[in-house]
Amino acid sequence: MTKTVYQKADEAMRLEIKRYLVLAETTKGFSSVDVQALSDPLDRLMFASGIGMHVVDPNNIDPAHLVAEWSRKRAVLFDIERSVTIGVYSLIRPFADQLYEEAEKLTKGFTEFRAEGLLNNPHLLPILQHLAGVFSKANLKKEVGSVSDTGFSKPAAERLSALLTERVSASSIVKANILQRMESTLEGIVRDLVGRVLLEEVVAEALKDEKVPFLREEEYSSLAGVVYDFRADFVVPNEKQPIAFVEVRKSSSRHASLYAKDKMFSAINWKGHYKNLIGIIVVDGDWTQATLQTMARVFDYVIPLHQCPHMAKVLKKATTGDESVLKWLLNFSISENPKFKEMPNNRIDSDGE
């Protein structure tokens, strides 16, 4: 079965995350960069984007130039989102071109839009949508009903066929224009993947590389706490006999304090229940130093995203029984005051008064 644009982008995102992790480890978290670390053109593209350089062709850029550029602005944080997504776009744009060629062949040069052909090739929907001049899924749904590039009904295929037949003139189609319109679709998909996949997948891949067993938030019911039970982004190895939990958070300087309070309560809640539980928070974005210092009084490890390989090594030690990696022991419990019920003033009568 042919992949959809989203499936291709998801695959590309995961490939680029693996590349990022290898590059981060090779450069010691982007603190020690030399020309040998940038011998691969795709690594050069990723690194250049991460330090804010625009590169048209990574094959034609000298690694020494990239090292010099990095050296002169070391205070600028490496931008993981830019570094990863540049590679994703380089993989999915040719795929969009491939879909265009496939759609052109299926429709005999955009002259025949048979319902059966559309029904059997739903992955071409993004191209067909832009051919019809419909630029959003909401508008497309108004025109032909519920359709998706993973599949749609025969009646929807017939309505789509009628729409394309009515609106598309083969003589007026310019490939470059259609692919330019597709950019908005690609950008929307990549934005969704950044929010849904990027940060947590970096953590997951680092743990997998060290063969650390873990469960993600959607894979278990809850992690018990002193106040209430809820889920961490990751638990190692499982929620029944947890050794550690990992929270992942991107922040801005404006909201850093609010996010920190929320995450610290989570850590206190879990660590107070499990006395030897290791708490890790992986951070990205703009956090104030004061906030990070405060979180470091509750979490055993406060780790920047690019040092996830180091975090995974710490957790690998923990799974082998190394207790030295645990920093904080929290003694936190809640119990009812036995004298409370004996006090007349604390009784509530039937009127609630």
pLDDT value at position 92? 95
Determine, yes or no, domain membership for 15: yes
pLDDT value at position 268? 95
Could you tell me how many residues make up the chain? 353
Determine, yes or no, domain membership for 348: no
Determine, yes or no, domain membership for 205: no
Q: Are residues 245 and 140 in the same domain?
A: no
Q: Could you give the 3-state DSSP secondary structure of residue 349?
A: coil
Q: Are residues 164 and 231 in the same domain?
A: no
Q: Are residues 23 and 85 in the same domain?
A: yes
| Torsion sign (Cα): 150, 152, 154, 159 | negative
Residues 6 or more apart whose Cβ sits within 8 Å of residue 197: 10, 13, 14
Do residues 232 and 279 lie in contact, with contact meaning Cβ atoms separated by under 8 Å? Answer: no
pLDDT value at position 168? 93
- What's the CA gap between 102 and 4, in Å, rounded? 13
pLDDT value at position 347? 56
Q: Which residues of the chain fall short of a pLDDT of 50?
A: 352-353
Determine, yes or no, domain membership for 140: yes
SS3 assignment for 299-340: CCEEEEHHHHHHHHHHHHHHHCCCHHHCCCCCCCCCCCCCCH
Q: Are residues 11 and 141 in the same domain?
A: yes
Determine, yes or no, domain membership for 141: yes
Range of the domain at 278: 210-325
Residue 273's CATH number = 3.40.1350
pLDDT value at position 348? 52
What pTM was computed for the model? Answer: 0.75
Q: Are residues 153 and 243 in the same domain?
A: no
Cα angle value 250/253/254 (rounded, 5°): 105
pLDDT value at position 353? 46
Structural domains of the chain, count: 2
pLDDT value at position 91? 93
Determine, yes or no, domain membership for 316: yes
Residues 6 or more apart whose Cβ sits within 8 Å of residue 230: 222, 223, 266
